[in-house]
């Protein structure tokens, strides 16, 4: 190693490595060196300082999931059974969140107790994927056919390409219903989707099977978030007692940072024995029309006043479908077809409630009427009796819950199938004498046509009569027999316009429910009364 300096070349003390030496001869007095610059060493004065690399450290911060971009809830039986790590029947938590910041995964941390919840949160699961989220582009009501042909999602907060790309395509309904591909959550309703595509500015879902798993079809407002659970979610590793109060925090984690636990939004709920509860029915049919919302006639079924009714049919489901069965089959055929021992295996039955003017008067017609088969009759007389002898003036609502016995305990479905519809009746426009118990005087009917007014009783009284009295302008006269015991017809002759008629019955028959009809002459107003014990 030598140092080389050369003023002409501007070199000062440049380190040089000797690669070859020529010592010359005795008579030349000269030594020749072959040198190469030594790149393994430099003296301080040899080079200037290097330029900066212009490298910028990447952003590694994490952000808390907004409350409307995360969900956590008690896992339904169908998802518990499909847990690839442990499909045993235990109570777990299911969670999903949308990616934010530089998060690569998120942890599910929970704590629970039978009473007030306190103490440390524990890591109960991890998700390595995130759910995509869109919103409903328009309001969605109950009463969709199977499948709903299209459902449009507005691409927010995720982009249209991300949202559409989070769905796979399948026309294999067994694969879709068994493996739960393309599972989405809208409110509390699960849906299974065959495919998705771009349609203008929206993501259009095709062939959507609504009310899947243990949920039912429900109304959803425009802008309701739609979570694509199949694109990313987590189920907890540990089980939780089936009635405990639970607090959950979803913690985003990046390559070298994680959110402070105190900064995460807390999700709270109470476990509700979800894995053991029955499935609600999937579909309600009125007079063989699925989800009929037209003016459904109270005289659709039956041949007379005492058996006029609306036929109501239920598409029943069995919670054993969740045990790796086909959730789409459960939506499209009755459970007795799928399971030969349904409903006897768990003593499954249905509780039916019928209400007039839901959200208004809320007049109860049926309360917890038990239905063990696939259908029941909504009877006109029962409805009129519940409304004090008046024809319904607003919508009717039928609500149906399932009930069964599991591990010796009677449990009802977590969700209730609800259907609202309008009614029509041949009694509309008639005068209502009202609901009359024994010896109760009716409302007053003012005749608007002269002549004989005929009366018909739906079936005979074994004891007691139907009576009338009339006010022709000087006050009411005495009560007079109109239809005697054992008969079904009678009339009031010589009625003049503006005469006032009252009716009553004197029967002591037990548990009666009958209808009394009055036919006015010509274009006069007809009338009816409901008679009870």
- What is the SS3 string spanning 136-170? ECCCECCCCCCCEEEEEEECCCCCHHHHHHCCCCC
Tell me what pLDDT residue 24 has: 79
- Cα separation, 362 vs 173, whole angstroms: 40
* pLDDT above 90: residue 238: no
Instruction: Rounding to the nearest 10 degrees, give the CA dihedral for residues 56, 60, 61, 62.
Output: 150
CATH of domain 67-131+234-276: 2.60.40.10
* Residue 294, pLDDT above cutoff 60: yes
pLDDT for 15 equals 86
435-466 pLDDT, tens digit each: 999 999 999 999 999 999 999 999 999 999 99
Across 31-52, average pLDDT: 71
More confident residue, 306 or 84: 306
Distance CA 35, CA 18 (A): 5
The fold for domain 283-424 equals Immunoglobulin-like (2.60.40)
Token pair recorded at residue 46: 């040899």
pLDDT over 60 (residue 75):
yes
Nearest C-alpha neighbor of 201 from the set 163, 252, 171, 243: 163
- Cβ-in-10-Å burial (0-12, 13-18, 19+) of 102 comes to middle
As a whole number, mean pLDDT of residues 187-194 equals 97
Measured CA to CA, the distance from residue 215 to residue 19 in angstroms comes to: 85
pLDDT at 34: 87
- Kindly state the average pLDDT of the residues 351-359: 94
Query: What φ, ψ does residue 138 adopt, rounded to 5°?
Result: -150, 165
The yes-or-no verdict on residue 469 having pLDDT over 90 is: yes
Task: Give the Cα separation of 48 and 53 in Å (integer).
Answer: 15
Question: What average pLDDT does the segment 508-523 reach?
Answer: 97
Summarize the confidence of residues 421-427 as an average pLDDT: 96
Q: What is the band of 32 on the pLDDT scale with cuts at 50, 70, 90?
A: confident
Give, in order, the Cα–Cα distances in Å from 270 to each of 107, 111, 253, 267, 530.
20, 12, 27, 11, 47
In 65-214 the beta strands, taken as DSSP E runs, fall at: 70-74, 93-97, 105-113, 122-127, 132-136, 148-154, 183-186, 189-199, 202-212
Give residue 346's pLDDT band: very low, low, confident or very high (50, 70, 90): very high
Pairwise CA distance, residues 60 & 77, whole Å: 38
Select the CATH number that applies to the domain covering 431-532 from these four: 3.30.70, 1.10.1060, 2.60.120, 1.10.3470: 2.60.120
pLDDT at 202 over 60: yes
H or E element in which residue 502 lies: strand 500-505
Among 1-15, 122-136, 287-301, 317-331, where is mean pLDDT lowest?
1-15
Q: What does DSSP say about strands 296-297 and 70-74: parallel, antiparallel, or unpaired?
A: unpaired
Characterise 434 by phi-psi region: left (phi > 0), alpha (psi -120 to 50), beta (else): left
> Does 48 score more than 90 pLDDT?
no
pLDDT tens-digit map of 84-108: 888 899 999 999 999 988 999 999 9
- Residue 33, strand partner residues: 21
Token representation of residue 7: 């003023």
The pLDDT value given to residue 43: 54
């Amino acid at each position: 190693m030598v140092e080389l300096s050369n003023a002409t070349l501007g070199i000062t003390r440049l380190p040089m490595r000797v690669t070859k030496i020529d010592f010359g001869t005795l008579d030349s007095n000269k030594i020749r060196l072959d040198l190469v610059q030594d790149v393994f060493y430099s003296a301080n004065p040899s080079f200037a300082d290097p330029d900066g690399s212009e490298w910028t450290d990447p952003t590694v911060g994490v952000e808390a999931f907004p409350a409307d971009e995360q969900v956590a809830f008690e896992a339904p039986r169908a998802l518990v059974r499909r847990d690839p790590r442990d499909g045993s029947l235990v109570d777990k938590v299911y969670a999903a969140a949308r990616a934010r910041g530089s998060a690569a995964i998120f942890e599910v941390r929970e704590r629970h107790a039978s009473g007030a919840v306190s103490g440390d949160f524990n890591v109960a699961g991890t998700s390595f994927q995130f759910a995509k989220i869109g919103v409903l582009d328009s309001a969605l009501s109950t009463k969709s056919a199977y499948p709903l042909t299209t459902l449009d999602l507005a691409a927010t907060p995720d982009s249209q390409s991300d949202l559409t790309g989070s769905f796979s395509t399948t026309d294999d309904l067994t694969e879709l219903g068994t493996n739960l591909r393309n599972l989405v959550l809208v409110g509390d309703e699960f849906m299974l989707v065959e495919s998705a595509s771009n349609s203008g500015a929206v993501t259009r879902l095709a062939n959507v099977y609504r009310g899947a798993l243990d949920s039912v079809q429900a109304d959803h407002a425009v802008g309701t978030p739609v979570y694509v659970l199949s694109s990313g979610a987590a189920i907890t590793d540990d089980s939780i007692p089936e009635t405990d109060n639970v607090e959950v925090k979803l913690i985003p984690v990046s390559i070298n940072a994680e959110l402070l636990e105190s900064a995460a939004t807390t999700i709270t709920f109470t476990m509700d024995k979800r894995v053991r509860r029955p499935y609600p029915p999937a579909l309600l049919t009125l007079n063989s029309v699925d989800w009929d919302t037209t003016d459904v006639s109270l005289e659709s079924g039956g041949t007379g006043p005492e058996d006029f009714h609306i036929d109501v049919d239920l598409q029943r489901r069995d919670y054993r479908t969740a045990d790796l069965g086909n959730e789409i089959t459960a939506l499209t055929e009755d459970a007795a077809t799928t399971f030969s021992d349904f409903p006897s295996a768990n003593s499954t039955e249905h509780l039916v409630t019928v209400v007039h003017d839901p959200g208004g008067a809320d007049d109860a017609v049926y309360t917890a009427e038990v239905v063990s088969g696939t259908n029941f009759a909504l009877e006109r007389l029962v409805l009129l009796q519940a409304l004090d002898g008046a024809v319904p003036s607003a919508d009717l609502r039928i609500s149906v819950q399932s009930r069964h016995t599991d591990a010796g305990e009677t449990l009802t479905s977590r969700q209730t199938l609800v259907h609202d519809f309008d009614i029509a009746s041949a009694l509309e426009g008639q005068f209502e004498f009202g609901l009359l118990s024994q010896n109760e005087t009716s409302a007053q009917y003012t005749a608007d046509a002269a002549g004989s007014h005929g009366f018909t009783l739906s079936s005979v009284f074994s004891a007691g009569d139907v009576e009338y009295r009339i006010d022709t302008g000087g006050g009411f006269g005495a009560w007079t027999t109109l239809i005697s015991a054992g008969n079904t017809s009678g009339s009031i002759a010589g009625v003049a316009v503006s005469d006032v008629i009252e009716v009553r019955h004197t029967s002591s028959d037990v548990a009666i429910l009958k209808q009394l009809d009055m036919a006015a002459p010509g274009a006069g107003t007809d009338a009816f009364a409901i008679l009870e014990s």
